[in-house]
């Protein structure tokens, strides 16, 4: 493709036009300049014109008038026959040399030795230790210390598995709480029972399992068939333990009331039932008034009123005074 550009250049614009043509020549070699007289010549800067070869005047043999042809370039030197220069090997950047191998990792340290299993003590010694801790509970200020020591003992593993520890604790606790000598000495079971809600329940549920084991144990003893005039020391500690379980909310108030009503109606359980009711009223008076439905309290009062044996008259009077009930056989209060 040929593009012709016609420019009218004033004398003072020669330098600017020269720069323009030179810029075009940097883009292509096929730039020719034709003057107004028809003459074509490459455009040169003033500095380059000083060193250019002289231009012959007049028409040239190889072109039309006014056409100037640049002299032919000298031919390249001939390569002699048999000359075979060694090919130049391109400079190729090869992969980096392999890194030095890493030293082998040291072998892992051996695991620490497993801790030695706790030495199990003689079961008799453990039970005696538990009883000593329970005796300390007779001083209420020792309850926090006994609680901490008991928890450490139960979790130490010296009693074997948690199930084994539970059985040992239950046996030692029962022997201590229901010891007939304590009844003869007039000792209450309440201080010992205060430990139950403070037993650990995680990771092994000692508290829950002790509750679940004690409730049927106590009821089994209280529901045994006995004569109406039986010696109450035979079950007094169990009756107080029952009332304590109610006080600790291990036995519900409605459930306790229904159990006592059932036992009051049976002569073979009546003595134990009257004793249970007396201790429950004594220790759980507020709970009875707040958590027992009035209809259930009325049934309980009716069952107590139906007890006709004279040997229970004192018990009936004691219970009615606590509960604010009219005593059986008492004259009605005068009208105000």
2 in a structural domain = no
96 in a structural domain = no
Task: Answer whether 280's CB lies under 8 Å from 243's CB.
Answer: yes
80 in a structural domain = no
Distance CA 74, CA 188 (A): 135
Q: What is the mean pLDDT of residues 316-335?
A: 73
Task: Answer whether 246's CB lies under 8 Å from 283's CB.
Answer: yes
pLDDT surpassing 50 at residue 303: yes
The tens digit of pLDDT for each residue in 199-248 reads 999 999 999 999 999 999 999 999 999 999 999 999 999 999 999 999 99
What's the pLDDT band for 102 if we cut at 50, 70, 90?
A: confident
Which of 205, 290, 206 has its CA nearest to residue 246? 290
Task: Answer whether 200's CB lies under 8 Å from 153's CB.
Answer: no
Task: Answer whether 151's CB lies under 8 Å from 202's CB.
Answer: no
67: helix, strand or coil? strand
The tens digit of pLDDT for each residue in 28-56 reads 555 566 655 555 455 454 444 444 455 54
Q: Are residues 191 and 278 in the same domain?
A: no
Distance CA 271, CA 263 (A): 9
What's the pLDDT band for 122 if we cut at 50, 70, 90?
A: confident
Read off the tokens for 187: 């000792």
Distance CA 277, CA 287 (A): 13
What's the pLDDT band for 295 if we cut at 50, 70, 90?
A: very high
Q: Are residues 232 and 289 in the same domain?
A: yes
User: CA 78: distance to chain centroid?
Assistant: 90
Distance CA 316, CA 326 (A): 10
- Given the DSSP bridges, would you call strands 33-34 and 40-41 parallel, antiparallel or unpaired? antiparallel
69 in a structural domain = no
281 in a structural domain = yes
pLDDT surpassing 60 at residue 74: no
Q: What is the mean pLDDT of residues 262-284?
A: 97
Q: Are residues 192 and 227 in the same domain?
A: no
33: helix, strand or coil? strand
Spell out the residues 6+ positions from residue 5 whose beta carbon is closer than 8 angstroms to its own. none
234 in a structural domain = yes
Distance CA 268, CA 271 (A): 8
Q: Are residues 185 and 231 in the same domain?
A: no
238 in a structural domain = yes
Q: Are residues 229 and 302 in the same domain?
A: yes
What Cα–Cα distance (Å) separates residue 139 from each residue in 135, 136, 190, 245? Answer: 8, 6, 12, 20
303 in a structural domain = yes
Q: Are residues 233 and 168 in the same domain?
A: no
Q: Which has more pLDDT, 117 or 227?
A: 227
Task: Answer whether 194's CB lies under 8 Å from 143's CB.
Answer: yes
Q: Are residues 185 and 240 in the same domain?
A: no
- Domain coverage including residue 148: 121-201
pTM over 0.75: no
Q: Total structural domains in the chain?
A: 3
The tens digit of pLDDT for each residue in 16-33 reads 667 767 766 665 555 566
Q: Are residues 240 and 316 in the same domain?
A: yes
Q: Given 3-state DSSP classes, what are the helix, strand and coil percentages for the chain, each rounded to the nearest 5?
A: 50, 0, 45
Task: Answer whether 196's CB lies under 8 Å from 249's CB.
Answer: no
Residues of the chain above pLDDT 70, percent: 65
Task: Answer whether 315's CB lies under 8 Å from 278's CB.
Answer: yes
């Amino acid at each position: 493709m040929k593009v012709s550009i016609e420019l009218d250049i004033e004398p003072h614009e020669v330098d600017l036009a020269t720069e323009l043509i030179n810029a075009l020549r940097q883009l292509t070699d096929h730039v020719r300049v034709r003057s107004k007289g028809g003459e074509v010549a490459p455009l040169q800067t003033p500095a380059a014109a000083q060193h250019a070869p002289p231009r012959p005047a007049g028409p040239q043999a190889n072109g039309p008038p006014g056409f100037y042809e640049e002299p032919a370039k000298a031919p390249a030197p001939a390569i002699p026959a048999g000359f075979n220069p060694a090919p130049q090997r391109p400079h190729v950047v090869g992969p980096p040399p392999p890194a030095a191998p890493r030293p082998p990792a040291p072998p892992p340290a051996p695991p620490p030795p497993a801790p030695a299993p706790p030495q199990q003590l003689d079961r008799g010694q453990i039970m005696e230790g538990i009883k000593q801790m329970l005796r300390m509970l007779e001083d209420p200020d020792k309850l926090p210390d006994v609680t901490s020591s008991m928890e450490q003992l139960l979790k130490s593993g010296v009693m074997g598995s948690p199930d084994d520890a539970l059985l040992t604790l239950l046996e030692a606790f029962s022997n201590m709480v229901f010891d007939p000598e304590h009844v003869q000495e007039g000792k209450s079971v309440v201080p010992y029972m205060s430990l139950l809600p403070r037993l650990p329940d995680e990771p092994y549920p000692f508290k829950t399992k002790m509750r679940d084991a004690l409730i049927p144990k106590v009821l089994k003893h209280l529901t045994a068939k006995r004569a109406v005039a039986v010696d109450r020391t035979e079950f007094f500690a169990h009756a107080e333990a029952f009332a304590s379980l109610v006080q600790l909310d291990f036995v519900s108030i409605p459930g306790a009331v229904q159990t006592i009503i059932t036992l009051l109606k049976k002569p073979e359980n009546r003595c134990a039932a009257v004793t249970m009711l007396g201790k429950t009223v004594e220790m759980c008076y507020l709970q009875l008034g707040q958590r027992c439905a009035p209809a259930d309290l009325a049934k309980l009062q009716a069952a107590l009123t139906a007890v006709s044996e004279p040997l229970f008259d004192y018990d009936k009077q004691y219970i009615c005074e606590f509960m604010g009930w009219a005593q059986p056989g008492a004259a009605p209060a005068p009208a105000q």
